[in-house]
Structure 1
Amino acid sequence: MNLCVSGDRIPVIFEIEADPAIVCSTNDDNRRPFAQIDELSYYREAEVLFMLGSIFLLNEISLEQSSRDVTISIIRMTLCSDHDSDLKQLHDYMKNEYRSEKTDLFSLGDVMYRMEKFNLSEKYYLRRLKELPSNNRSLGELYQRLGMVANAKGNYDTSLDWYQKSLEILVSTHPSDHVEIGSTHNSIANAHRNRGDHVRALESYNQAVLLFKQAHDENNPSMAMFYNNIGMIYDQEKKYFKALDFNEKSLAIQEKNLPVDHPDLGSSYNNIGGIH
């Protein structure tokens, strides 16, 4: 095996177990075919092409020494079908959460944001902003997205400016208990927290909680996010009993709404463990 090692980088080998009987069924909704394409490869290497959207179950990551005394990271995975019993619930949840029926600059910006490509995300949002008339109802949501990007880039004052524009439009075009208004208060709180202004952050988080309680029940998934954020403030202020209380409230709501293997549950368990 020829290995190219540069600086402090470690070579990675993926070992993938793929059973055609499981992932190449006749059911179109369940198919995730793959094929060996040696004869089509430009470099004439042993290559396997997997269908776009294939799902892999991570089994193990280990470090091994090669014959040249080079450390190699071995990642062992199993190709799964969409209807794998252990993954279907999580797959369906994530598919529903991120699916967008629109393909426009707004949705492209959302995709780039989730990929943490914030400059590209901002570019698409700003291009969309130029297309919209000044009285368009979706401006409030777009301003909020621009605030999220600025916050992620560490530009907290700019973020607050975008959020304030968003809030002004939402308040004038939506009922006072509308969920988007509550979400914007949560975003404003995030920016204040990142600036180190815990007093204003708590005020905005509590306003978000109040508005969501008026529009939804206590077990709405967004309430888990608000409680988690409040818990983070109290944890930073070393008020651990309050931090634990809000993190446990957040976890209780998540357990009622999320699949058992959702990553947010792992984060909540980790937060509670850190407080203890």
Structure 2
Amino acid sequence: MYTQLFKEILLTIEFEDKHIEEFAKHHPGLITLDGTHSNDVKQSVRDYRTKKPIWWYTRGNSLHSMLNDALRIMDGDVLVRMGFFVTDLHRNIEQLHKEQFVNASWSSLVFTVYRGQGLSHTDFAELRNTIDGLMSFNSFFSTSMKRDVSFSYAKSNADNPKLVGILFTIKIDPAQSTTPFALVGNHGRFLQENEVLFSMHTVFRIHHIEVIGTAPPLYEVNISLTLDSDEELRTLTDHIRRESHLDGKGWTRLGQLLIQLGQHKKAEKIYDTLLNQKSHDNDKGLIYHQLGHIRHRQGLFQEAITFYDKSLVLFEKTFPANHPDLATSYNNISSVYVSMGDYRKALDYYEKTLSIQQQSLPANHPDLATSYSNIGSVYVHIGDYRKALEYFEKTLSIQQQSLPANHPDLATSYNNIGLVYNSMGDYPKALEYYEKALLIRQQSLPANHPNIATSYNNIGLVYNSMGDYRKALEYFEKTLSIRKQSLPANHPDLATSYNNIGLVYDSMNDYRKAHFYCERAVQSAKCSRSPNHPHLLRLERNLEYVENKLRHSSFLAIK
């Protein structure tokens, strides 16, 4: 659903020639009429304006693949740079859709289009488990009204042993859906009268899957364009919009989304630019708040507190004492203190947050669920597991009343309850809740999102506690791989991953590898933790423990 939010935000931004020039500077030749590299960015803008966006999209150069690859993995750097083109292409498709399908001869005609492609075996397995559910193509995508054309694409993909050949058969009822799609015809660079182009994040309902070839396996997947009246889609979209906590508008809101997607550097660049343009205290307070959020996620905790304090001073001048934005500030300051290991101070700020919310919100409001969850987390750190479970169950109770079953916040609650059961030594129960959390996160987040890494890490911890060290190592290595991609080199979660892998090798009596990873953990933690931080002290104790075992094993080997 993040691509839907991304599209909605981009459509509120007024892009200018300077944004096209910036793109042309980084990608010379992609928007020049003759296809040659040019340093004349103003000429590139003039060239771009002479043709419709669909012409550029269907031109046949790498512009098409660059855009869709970035949409599939939500590459914030590329997508922000291409924001002008995303909005122009969507509006071009939207305009043609109105001309072709609204009050036109096609408007009452139900028809079928086809798309042949390959899916990874993992993605296909997930698709088979989603019969009668929803699926989306996050990118812009082309279909054909000729089945044999699409079938040939599906068959060629089936020849690749790493892929499953898929023929999507798509039923379209223009009278029941306002989702934009258009007959490309003579609007594209290459004249293909039977091509239908859909805008990004088009959502379909999966009906059934059947085998249409066995050597190699080939499948036909029957889907239909979701109706405007689809209650499940509307509920899910409304909740994602509401619970993503994206306020502000335009570039400010885009920065918030990039933070949620882990694209911190791009978000920071946007906010630094905005800070120089704003004069109102409330606007500056929001920007300082978001910069604090970025610093927190980057592991720069003291800088995060500094930005949050600046934000809080401006908010306290602007808002009454029980204003929700003050509760948000208290909450986020608490989160940083948790990261710093100062749990008593964190609990103090969380209770300030809860006090404001209890005065102004109904008893089943999602924000109260969040506060209960945060307080439960502090009790975990303090070691009061019964109290923690009490607060986490309050959270889950509210969320189950108000959220769809695949909402990311439910994943967080399942994860937290799993954590408590793990701490209490009930490992089967912990694994049950951790796997529920992982399933939701895999459905709703990009593959390299830090929260998926957290789920892998937690499952690894349970397997480690159960003595299944091979399985634990598998999950810890998945965790480390994601964290290396999505976190700065000095982030404390990386230290945790190195430490966890080291301790598994220790349990497997491979003391040299154990020492290597535990030493990496301490080196990493020293970059972000104070010398007396509990996390660093624990890692140092682990390293000392492994060093002693390594020396002892070496001594025995000499004897």
TM-score by length of 2: 0.40
1:143 and 1:162 in contact (8 A); partners too: yes
Q: 1:83 to 1:223 in 2, by over 3 A?
A: same
Q: Is the 8 A contact 1:100 1:107 kept in 2?
A: yes
Work out whether 1:94 is the aligned partner of 2:244: no
| C-alpha deviation, 1:57, in angstroms | 6.4
Aligned CA distance change for structure 1 residues 176 and 89 (closer, same or farther; 3 Å): same
More helix by proportion, 1 or 2? Answer: 2
Rg larger in 1 or in 2? 2
Letter matched to residue 53 of structure 1:
H
Question: Aligned to 1:20, which of 147, 164, 171?
Answer: 171
State whether residues 203 and 225 of structure 2, in contact with CA within 8 Å, keep that contact through their aligned partners in structure 1: yes
SS of the residue aligned with 1:137?
helix
Is residue 53 of structure 1 aligned with residue 211 of structure 2?
Answer: no
Number of aligned positions between the proteins: 254
Contact 1:56 1:77 in 2 (8 A): no
Q: Contact 1:192/1:201 (CA < 8 Å) preserved in 2?
A: yes
Following TM superposition, by how much is the alpha carbon of 1:127 offset from its aligned partner in structure 2, in angstroms?
Answer: 0.8
Amino acid at match of 1:106: T
Cα shift at 1:265: 1.8
2:28 corresponds to which residue?
none
CA contact (8 A) 1:20 1:33 kept: no
AA matched with 1:110? Q
Q: 1:270 to 1:18 in 2, by over 3 A?
A: farther
Match of 2:345 in 1: 200
Relative to structure 1, the CA distance from residue 166 to residue 54 in structure 2 (aligned partners, 3 Å threshold; closer, same or farther) is: same
Mapping for residues 202-221 of structure 1, pairs under 5 Å:
202-221=347-366
Deviation at 1:98, TM superposition (A): 5.4
Q: How many percent of aligned residue pairs carry the same amino acid?
A: 27
199-208 vs 90-99, greater mean Cα deviation: 90-99
Choose which of 367, 372, 386 in structure 2 pairs with 1:222: 367
How far off is 1:203 after superposition?
A: 1.1
Aligned pair 1:170/2:319, yes or no?
Answer: no
1:97–1:217 distance in 2 versus 1, CA, 3 Å: closer
SS at match of 1:55: strand
Distance 1:18 1:92 in 2: 28
How far does residue 16 in structure 1 lie from its aligned partner after superposition? 6.8
Partners of 1:58 and 1:150 lie apart in 2 by 41
How far apart in 2 are the matches of 1:205 and 1:14?
51
Letter matched to residue 343 of structure 2: H
Displacement, 1:101? 9.4
SS in 2 for 1:87: helix
State the 1:189 CA deviation. 0.6
Distance 1:242 1:128 in 2: 43
- Aligned-partner SS, 1:19: strand
Given the alignment, which residue of 136, 145, 159 partners 2:290? 145
Worse overlay, 197-206 or 253-262: 253-262
Matched, 1:132 2:278: yes
Distance in 1, Cα, partners of 2:162 & 2:382: 42
Name the CA distance, whole Å, in 2 between partners of 1:80 and 1:270. 34
Letter in 2 for 1:174: F
Q: Which moved further from structure 2: 185-194 or 257-266?
A: 257-266
| Structure 1 pair 165–117 and aligned structure 2 pair: CA distance change class (3 A) | same
Unaligned runs of 5+ in 2: 1-155, 208-214, 422-559
The alpha-carbon distance between structure 1 residues 58 and 266, as it changes in their structure 2 partners (threshold 3 A), is farther
TM score, norm. by length of structure 1? 0.75
How far did 1:234 drift?
1.9
Counterparts of 1:14 and 1:121, CA distance in 2: 38
Q: Distance in 1 between matches of 2:324 and 2:367?
A: 9
User: Closer, same or farther in 2 for the Cα pair 1:16/1:169, shift >3 Å?
Assistant: farther
Counterpart-to-counterpart distance in 2, 1:132 and 1:141: 10
Q: 2:253 aligns with which of 97, 100, 107?
A: 107
Q: Secondary structure at the match of 2:282?
A: coil
What residue in structure 1 maps to residue 381 of structure 2? 236
Cα gap change, 1:20 to 1:270, in 2 (>3 Å): same
1:73-129 superposed Cα distances (whole Å, 9 cap, x missing partner): x9x895651544443311232245559797533122123222221111111111111
In structure 2, what is the equivalent of residue 63 of structure 1? none
**1:257 corresponding residue in structure 2:** 402
Amino acid corresponding to residue 401 of structure 2 in structure 1: K
**Alignment check: 8 A CA contact 1:15 1:77 kept:** no
| Aligned AA (1:213) | Q
User: Is the contact between residue 186 and residue 208 of structure 1 (CA under 8 Å) also seen in structure 2?
Assistant: yes
Q: 2:417 aligns with which of 260, 272, 275?
A: 272
In 2, Cα distance between equivalents of 1:77 and 1:152? 42
Secondary structure of 1:272 counterpart: helix
| Secondary structure of 1:131 counterpart | coil
Q: CA deviation at 1:249?
A: 1.0
**Residue 116 of structure 1 aligns with which residue?**
262
Distance in 2 between residues matched to 1:55 and 1:183, nearest whole Å: 33
> Which of 1 and 2 has higher RCO (CA within 8 Å, sep 6+)?
1
Aligned mates of 2:370, 2:198 — CA distance in 1: 36
Question: In structure 2, the residue corresponding to 1:20 is in which secondary structure?
Answer: strand
Say which is worse superposed, 87-96 or 235-244, in terms of deviation: 87-96
Which residue does 2:300 correspond to in 1?
Answer: 155
**CA spacing shift, 1:175–1:103, aligned 2, 3 Å:** closer
